[in-house]
Amino acid sequence: MTYKIAGVLLAAGMSRRAGPVNKLLAPVAGVAMVRRALAAMVEGGCAPVVVVTGHQAARVQAELAGDGILFAHNPAYGEGMGPSLRTGIAALPADVDAAIIGLGDMPHVEAQTYRQLIKSFSPSDGHKICMPGYQGKPGNPVLFGRRFFAELMAIAGDRGGRSVVTDNPAAVIDVAVEDPGIHLDHDTVQGLA
């Protein structure tokens, strides 16, 4: 069976630890961090993709504008990740079977990781949450089946979907990937090239 797997890219943060710059727009190997994160999600097979904006929304949207990309603005972006999750999930079309939640400050995740998560999603086998792991350690992005959308939308404050994973262990499948990028986020812009 073929499932419709969307992507939700969280790109609303204020980059407080990065100083005066918006780290999402900082170049990584000559390409804006958030653009690299989006490219892997799209190349990996997520469709449609919703990009959640907040801080400097117009600049982020201008950097990412393109065919097939949906934007959803989170006016409560200063409250942390919870409101961004709600905004992104709420913007998904009704016919989406699952969504992969990706982070705009994780530009090293490979497209192949998205493909592996999509391939692993199998609700009939109990594989309703697909979490990548590299060298035995879980990371991001994480795929959530539609049945968990309400739980994701109930998350408040600066918390991600980890509590949904923890609360539903029987639904989780660990997907081994050869991608150290699932552990590499950027709190600052130090060392970027």
Q: Would you state the structure tokens that stand for residue 75, as one six-digit string?
A: 């006016």
- Alpha helix stretches (DSSP H) within 18-143: 33-43, 57-64, 81-90, 111-120
Q: Which run of H or of E encompasses 164?
A: helix 162-167
Q: What's the gap between Cα 143 and its chain centre? A: 9
The model's pTM is 0.93
Q: Would you state the structure tokens that stand for residue 134, as one six-digit string?
A: 């590299």
Helix (H, G, I), strand (E, B) or coil at 110: coil
Domains of the chain: 5-183 (3.90.550.10)
Q: For each successive 10 residues of the chain (193 residues), what is the average pLDDT?
A: 95 64 88 96 97 95 87 93 96 98 96 98 96 97 98 90 96 97 75 47
pLDDT at position 110: 98
Query: Which residues pair with residue 71 across a beta bridge?
Result: 51
User: CA-CA distance, 49 to 68, in Å (whole number)?
Assistant: 7
